[in-house]
Structure 1
Amino acid sequence: MLKPKLARDSHTIMTEMVLPNDTNTLNNLMGGRLLHFMDIAAAIAAQKHSNRTVVTASVDNVSFSEPIRLGNIVTMKAQVTRAFNSSMEVFIEVWAEDIPAGVRVSTNSAYYTFVAVDQNGRPIEVPAVVPESDEEKARFDSALRRRQLRLVLAGRMQPQEATELRALLLGESA
C-alpha cells in the first residue's frame, strides 16, 4: 500500500502564449492545440501525484465557451481529484488573458483520466488522494460517480453495477 498524498501536491500551473502558428484563419487558438496544452498540464499533475510515467486514458466533455485570441496568454491549472488503483482523475481549468487590455476570462474546464504505467507500459498502483479544502472534498466525493459513468459509457461496467450513479439518479442507497 502506497502512502496517500495530498491533492494540493499535484497542483500544476502551465502558461502558454498564443502564437500565429497556434491559430486558425480567424486568429483564434485552434481547439486541438488547446487540447494538446491541456493534456500536457493534466499529465504533469498526474505525474506529480504518482511519481510515474502516465498515459491519457480519457477526456470528458470539453466545451469551447470563449475564443482564445492570437497574443492571449493561456493559463491552465490542473490537480488530481481522486485516484483509483492505477488511474487518476485530474480536473483542469483554463483561462485566457489579454494582458494589455487587462481582461481575463474562463474558457474551459474538463476532467482527464490518466493511468500510471511501469517501464513496460503496464498499469501500476498509485497513491490515494487526500483532499483538504471543501472544493477538493467535493470533487473527490463526486469522482466515483464520474468514473462509473465513464466506465458505463465505455462498456466496461454494466449500468446496474454503477451503484453511485444509481443512488444519484434513482435515489437508491449505494
Structure 2
Amino acid sequence: KTLFETQNDAKSCKIFDKFNVKKSLTEIKSWISKNKTQIFDKKKIGIVELSNSENIDDFLLNLGKLETDIKISIINLMPVGTSYEYLMKNMPQKRLENEYLALTKLDLCDLSILEIAAFVELNHKCMFFSGVPSSDEGLYFAKVEQTVDHIVQIIENRMV
C-alpha cells in the first residue's frame, strides 16, 4: 500500500491522464457507474490530470452533471523557487473552496517566506509534497500554531 492509500483508507486510485474533455468525461462516467458504491464508501478515488486550467470550469460543470453527490477537489501543482513578483503577476487567486495548492520540488529548491506570503495573499490553501513514500521521513511536519505564528510574524514585520 502507498502512504496515500494508508492515510486515506482508500483501496485503489484511478488516474485519468491525457485530458480530452469528451473522452475523459465518457471514461469517468463509465468508471463512476462501475465503482459507485466503492467511491461513496471511500474505497476508490479518481484523479483527473489537467495540463491546462482554462478548460476546468466546463469540465467541472460537466462532471457535476454526471454525478451530483461525488466530492471533487482541485489540486494545483506549483514547484517552489518562484519569485514573489512572478507569483503575484501570473498566479490566479483561489476561486473555489475545494481548491488546493500542492508545492512540489521541495527536495530541489528552498521555499521562501516571500513565496508563502504570495500564496497567502492569493488566498491559496497549501499542501506540501516531499516525494518520500513514508510519513516519518522527509519534511518537518510543523504544528499549525507554529506555522501560523511564524507567518503572522513575517507579515507584521513586512507591514512595519
Instruction: Name whichever structure is richer in strand by fraction.
Output: 1
> Relative contact order (alpha carbons < 8 A, sep ≥ 6): 1 or 2 greater?
1
Q: TM-score by structure 2 length?
A: 0.32
